[in-house]
């Protein structure tokens, strides 16, 4: 096994990414593009991009790493962080911190657990987070975009209105989840308003290089890297960054979280747009995108690429 330190030379990491890109080609056709959101079904399947951003400020990429894609459930990571920054530990009165072991849109546990979602990353939990933020922000979509634009240094970053509309028109199960939680008193705002915000949130688009940059604070003790002579920004408290990573490790891939932890061993967050972001604390971040999904809604090539990366770098062994 080849082992790289955080100061890995560009030639080494670039060679590894090229190797992974080549190996991944054999997996095309083993998954299917998400079809339950009509606009996502139109995405060309045979695409693969990967970007690695290190805490020293260097970035490496391969394939379609600069192609924007729909973040979908990866945005749950950012709204969770925003809610944690806004309301702190009061968050845990309305959502749990345990793996669900169920599909991302399951309703089963809500009834037995009296409307409290298991964690912030399943749909029910993410809807509660969006409800909390809808109360706090008159225009949540712009508040979230403001944070993401700051993290990516891209003032033009936005959400795709066509995808948001397509998602909103097919959000029947999410609406049912919202009303069910409201019946238990765990939903404050009107579900229609929250769903509008939620669908715009999920339709946010980034490239792999932008996603790796936007999550750097989770690999860097809560600090976003300073650019253009600026100092690092303490975007999130270090203890909170550690806790977010812990939840990503245990809950970030839904009912495949255990398999991801076993195979990859890094905190991850997946999305049905085909993206996956992974955090190697103290080392850097990895973002991969390939829109063909497995039966559990996770990118086939993306999971393979992350597993190969940790095999070739041993970053999952880093304390």
- Rounded to the nearest angstrom, the gap between the alpha carbon of residue 71 and the centroid of all alpha carbons in its chain is 7
Give the number of other Cβ atoms within 10 Å of residue 230's Cβ. Answer: 10
What are the angstrom distances between the C-alpha of 98 and each of 32, 90, 249? 29, 16, 11
Tokens 């399947």 map to which residue? 45
Tokens 């790796």 map to which residue? 212
Closest CA to 63 of 306, 269, 289: 289
* Residues annotated catalytic, as ranges: 73, 76, 198, 254, 272
Specify the 3-state DSSP secondary structure of 74.
helix
d(CA 121, CA 98): 10
Query: DSSP code of 204?
Result: B
d(CA 105, CA 88): 25
Q: Which two tokens stand for residue 239?
A: 């203890």
Work out the angle between the directed axes of helices 140-152 and 191-202 (0-180°, nearest 10).
Answer: 20
Which H or E element spans position 310? Answer: helix 300-313
- Name the β-bridge partners of 223: 234
First to last CA, the chain: 18
d(CA 273, CA 202): 9
Closest CA to 156 of 148, 166, 164, 165: 148
d(CA 181, CA 183): 5
Are the C-beta atoms of 98 and 242 separated by less than 8 Å?
A: no
């Amino acid at each position: 096994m080849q082992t790289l330190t955080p100061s890995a030379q560009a030639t080494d990491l670039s060679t590894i990414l090229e190797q992974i890109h080549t190996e991944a080609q054999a997996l095309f056709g083993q998954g299917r593009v998400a079809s339950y959101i009509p606009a996502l079904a139109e995405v060309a399947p045979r695409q693969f991009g990967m970007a690695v951003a290190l805490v020293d400020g260097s970035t490496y990429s391969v394939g379609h790493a600069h192609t924007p894609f729909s973040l979908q459930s990866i945005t749950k990571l950012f709204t969770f962080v925003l809610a944690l920054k806004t309301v702190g530990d009061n968050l845990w009165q309305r959502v749990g911190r345990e793996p669900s072991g169920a599909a991302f849109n399951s309703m089963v546990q809500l009834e037995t657990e009296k409307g409290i979602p298991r964690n912030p990353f399943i749909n029910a939990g993410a809807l509660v987070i969006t409800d909390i933020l809808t109360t706090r922000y008159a225009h949540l979509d712009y508040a979230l975009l403001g944070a993401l634009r700051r993290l990516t240094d891209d003032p033009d970053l936005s959400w795709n209105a066509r995808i948001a509309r397509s998602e909103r028109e097919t959000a029947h199960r999410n609406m049912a989840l919202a009303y069910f939680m409201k019946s238990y008193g765990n939903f404050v705002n009107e579900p229609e308003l929250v769903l509008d915000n939620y669908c715009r949130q999920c339709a946010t688009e980034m490239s792999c290089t932008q996603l790796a940059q936007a999550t750097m604070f989770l690999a860097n003790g809560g600090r976003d890297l300073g650019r253009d002579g600026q100092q690092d920004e303490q975007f999130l408290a270090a203890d909170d960054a550690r806790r977010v990573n812990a939840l990503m490790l245990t809950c970030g891939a839904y009912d495949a979280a255990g398999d991801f932890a076993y195979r990859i061993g890094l905190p991850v967050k997946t999305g049905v747009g085909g993206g996956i972001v992974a955090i190697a604390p103290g080392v850097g971040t990895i973002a991969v995108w390939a829109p063909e999904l497995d039966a559990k809604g996770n990118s086939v090539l993306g999971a393979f690429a992350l597993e190969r990366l940790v095999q070739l770098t041993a970053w999952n062994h880093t304390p």
